[in-house]
């Protein structure tokens, strides 16, 4: 199935999405990589304000390059999601409903997704210029000292992604490989 989704509707839509579905996202997506995740979790533990509301949010694991003149953003490809696995269950339990990156996730993340009705999507690695075309606005919202890895609020339009893991236990990494082997 293919879905055109507004990110404001992700919390409601995520439990219905299944591994293999394609999605075009429009709305707000935040970028954060491992250094930012470490700071966000530290802020949670200290009871400090977070850089954005996690409830119903989507995080894209990316560190966009600087924009060239006339561009909103430079290349904006996904980074390896497994580096966020130590932090993801905590963020999911706090309301995060969508993660976007590339690569396999661990069992603790899958369990937290099931517990919270969340979804993990992948963006095509090596297609950073294509993805950058879906970004219509960018604002640094936290940790500016991290440079390209700062937390950014992206306004996206028709951001292409594929559901890789769903909250019902579906996984393209497991199920897709098994189906291919059967053929």
| Catalytic (active-site) positions | 37
Q: What is the CA angle 12-164-130, rounded to 5? A: 95
How far is it, in rounded angstroms, from Cα 118 to Cα 161? Answer: 15
Residues 88, 165 contacting (CB under 8 angstroms): no
Q: Scanning the structure block, which residue is given the tokens 């200290």?
A: 46
Judged by DSSP in three states, 101 sits in strand
The two three-digit tokens of residue 93, written as one number: 């339990």
Residues 109, 131 contacting (CB under 8 angstroms): no
What residues contact residue 173 under an 8 Å CB cut-off, 6+ apart? 104, 164, 165
């Amino acid at each position: 199935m293919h879905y055109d989704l507004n990110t404001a509707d992700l919390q409601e839509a995520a439990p219905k999405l299944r591994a293999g579905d394609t999605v075009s996202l429009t709305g707000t997506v935040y970028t954060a990589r491992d250094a930012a995740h470490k700071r966000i979790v530290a802020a949670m533990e200290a009871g400090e304000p977070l850089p954005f509301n996690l409830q119903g949010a989507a995080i894209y694991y990316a560190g966009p390059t600087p924009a060239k003149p006339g561009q909103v953003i430079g290349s904006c490809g996904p980074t390896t999601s497994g580096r966020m696995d130590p932090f993801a269950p905590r963020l999911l339990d706090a309301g995060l409903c969508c993660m976007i990156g590339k690569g396999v996730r661990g069992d603790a993340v899958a369990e937290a997704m099931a517990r919270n009705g969340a979804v993990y999507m992948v963006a095509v690695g090596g297609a950073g210029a294509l993805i950058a075309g879906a970004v219509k606005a960018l604002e640094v919202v936290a940790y500016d000292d991290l440079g390209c890895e700062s937390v950014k609020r992206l306004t996206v339009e028709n951001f292409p992604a594929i559901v890789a893991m769903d909250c019902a236990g579906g996984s393209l990494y497991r199920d897709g490989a098994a189906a291919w082997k059967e053929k």
